[in-house]
Amino acid sequence: MATATPLTSGARPEHRGLSFWMDRVIKELENVSSSPDADVVHDLRVAIRRCRSVAAVMKEVDPDLAWPAMRKVARKLFRELGALRDAQVMDEWVKKLAPDTDPVRTHLQTAFESSEPLLRENALHVAAKFDQKSWKRLERTLRHRSRPRTHGKSRRRMPGARTI
């Protein structure tokens, strides 16, 4: 299961921007390819979702075509992983909520376990086809577009303007 490291008292969380999450997608993609268990699938989906969420917001204020392109590159992988993750989560919940002897549990568990290999195969197939080259190119492009612009001391003053 995914774990979170608690912060020490007074510590501030580290800011993780778009570049961090886009790089994380590539790393988690390698993990899914080697072992598509529930936690690894979840971690990859989280990384993709964070990237896609930033892109959805940024395309509202920045008309660059790279934002929708980034969302599109990850869309199919995100959906296939979602189908697999749903089956994995439902299987876990059935095991937690119903006793071993419950016939409904047995029926549901059999259904989830029989569908999971096909969902896993589909997810792995889409993961293998994921265009990492385009993803990395988009990361380089969007890295600069997602950084906040500072207007402090680097801003030029008009001649004769006073500072307040």
In a domain, 164, yes or no: no
Interval 60-78: pLDDT, tens: 999 999 999 999 999 999 9
Per the domain annotation, does 154 fall within a domain? no
Residue 90 lies in a domain: yes
Residue 138, token pair as written in the block: 């988009």
Q: What is the pTM of this model?
A: 0.78
Domain assignment of residue 38, yes or no: yes
**What does residue 140 show for φ and ψ, rounded to 5 degrees?**
-65, -40
| Domain interval for residue 129 | 18-144
In a domain, 51, yes or no: yes
Query: Considering the domain boundaries, does residue 47 fall inside one?
Result: yes
pLDDT at 159: 58
Q: What is the pLDDT of residue 16?
A: 81
Is residue 87 a part of any domain in this protein? yes
Cα–Cα distance, 100 to 96 (Å, whole number): 9
Report the domain count for the chain: 1
Q: Element (H or E) spanning 96, and its range? A: helix 66-97
Task: Output the pLDDT for position 121.
Answer: 96
> Is there a domain that residue 156 lies in?
no
Coil/strand/helix, residue 158? coil
Write the DSSP assignment of 29-86 as a string of letters: HHHHHH---HHHHHHHHHHHHHHHHHHHHHHHH---THHHHHHHHHHHHHHHHHHHHH
What's residue 149's pLDDT?
62
Q: Residue 147: its pLDDT value, please?
A: 73
Q: Which residues of the chain have pLDDT under 70?
A: 1-15, 148-164
